[in-house]
């Protein structure tokens, strides 16, 4: 009897371990951050990708670069995404654009006239799948950022790369602000990672899929609301007074609203983001 009970306990343990190991919760991760200017450089190229906890490449999420000039400034991402062609900018480097960049946000070198601009606020997302659109197992994953300021004369190099910002993909919401993720990091700030499983209630989904950045802000807040039918945005001060109210036409092509607060006093504000079904509130700080 004891042997049978022991065998049953072992079997249950194995089944529970297998279920947890191979769970593939659907959902989305949103990573918002702000790049801080390096020296006097006015442009930048940048890549963002997702890896698992053991360092295996999963998916490229962003790649801003000019392939004929700056594609060799991604030595780490090139190695991770399996780049196979020598860079046209420098044969000693690899052309990062020849690697696996399926579904990534892409574009040319960022400058003062691009959208988003160089040295400013960014937002990327990940749907929990690999480059073959297959859901990956739940667990710990990392967001990597590799960046080079345009004007760096050295080929096959970068000015900055993080060591991966960890988050947990699973059945629960994971929401973290990264204040000091790595030593001597002066290139990225206002880092926030949010993983939202699909099975949450509508209020919870809206709460976690909406990103407001940068926070604190020196004048302008960006409200990003991908796939959410936002109809109104209100800004409320600590006295409960509405100081800004923006009505929006619900449109699938509209995913971002910028709120200019330069004419308002510094301090704490509440930004209420509403749809026709629900609303959610976010604390922000204005520090001009």
pLDDT of residue 21: 45
DSSP string, 95-162: -GGGS--TT-EEES-B-TTSSSPSSSEEEEEE-SB-TTSPBPPSEEEEEEEEEEETT---SS--SEE-
Residue 188 structure tokens: 């990225």
Q: Domain coordinates of the chain in residue numbers?
A: 27-197, 202-286
pTM for the model stands at 0.67
Pick the CATH number of 202-286 from 1.10.10.10, 3.40.640.10, 3.40.50.970, 2.60.40.3080: 2.60.40.3080
Q: What is the pLDDT of residue 190?
A: 83
Are 31 and 143 contacting, i.e. CB atoms less than 8 angstroms apart? Answer: yes
Residue partners of 288: CB distance under 8 A and separation at least 6: 218, 219, 262, 266
Residue 140 has a pLDDT of 96
The whole-angstrom separation of Cα 76 and Cα 267 is 41
User: In this predicted structure, what is the pLDDT of residue 122?
Assistant: 93
Report the pLDDT value the prediction gives residue 206, as an integer from 0 to 100: 67
Write out the E strands in 198-231.
Answer: 211-213, 220-224
Q: How many CB atoms lie within 10 A of CB 49?
A: 28
Beta strands 57-64 and 105-107, pairing class: parallel
- What's the rounded Cα separation, in Å, for the pair 259 and 277? 22
Segment-wise mean pLDDT, segments of 10 residues, the chain, 288 residues: 45 39 79 89 95 96 90 93 88 89 94 92 93 93 93 77 91 78 66 82 66 92 86 90 89 83 94 82 90
Q: Which pLDDT value is given to residue 204?
A: 64
């Amino acid at each position: 009897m004891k042997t049978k009970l022991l065998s049953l306990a072992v079997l249950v343990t194995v089944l529970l371990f297998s279920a947890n190991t191979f769970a593939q919760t659907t959902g989305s991760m949103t990573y918002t951050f702000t790049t801080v200017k390096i020296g006097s450089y006015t442009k930048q190229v940048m890549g963002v990708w997702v890896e698992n906890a053991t360092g295996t490449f999963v998916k490229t999420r962003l790649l801003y670069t000019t392939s004929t000039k700056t594609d060799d400034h991604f030595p780490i991402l090139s190695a991770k995404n399996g780049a196979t062609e020598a860079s046209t900018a420098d044969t000693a480097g690899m052309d990062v654009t020849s690697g696996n960049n399926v579904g990534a946000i892409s574009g040319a070198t960022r400058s003062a006239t691009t959208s988003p601009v160089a040295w400013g606020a960014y937002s990327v997302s990940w749907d929990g799948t690999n480059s073959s659109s297959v859901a990956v197992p739940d667990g710990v994953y990392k967001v990597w950022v590799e960046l080079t300021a345009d004007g760096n004369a050295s080929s096959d190099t970068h000015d900055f790369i993080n060591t991966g910002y960890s988050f947990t993909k699973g059945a629960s919401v994971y929401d973290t602000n990264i204040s000091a993720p790595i030593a001597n990091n002066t290139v990225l700030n206002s880092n926030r990672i949010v993983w939202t499983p699909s099975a949450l209630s509508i209020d919870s989904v809206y709460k976690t899929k909406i990103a407001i950045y940068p926070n604190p802000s020196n004048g302008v807040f960006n409200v990003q609301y991908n796939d959410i039918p936002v109809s109104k945005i209100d800004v409320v001060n600590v006295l409960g007074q509405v100081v800004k109210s923006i009505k929006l036409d619900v449109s699938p092509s509209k995913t971002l609203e910028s709120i200019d607060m330069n004419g308002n006093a510094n301090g704490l504000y509440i930004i209420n983001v509403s749809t026709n079904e629900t609303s959610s509130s976010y604390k922000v700080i204005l520090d001009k």
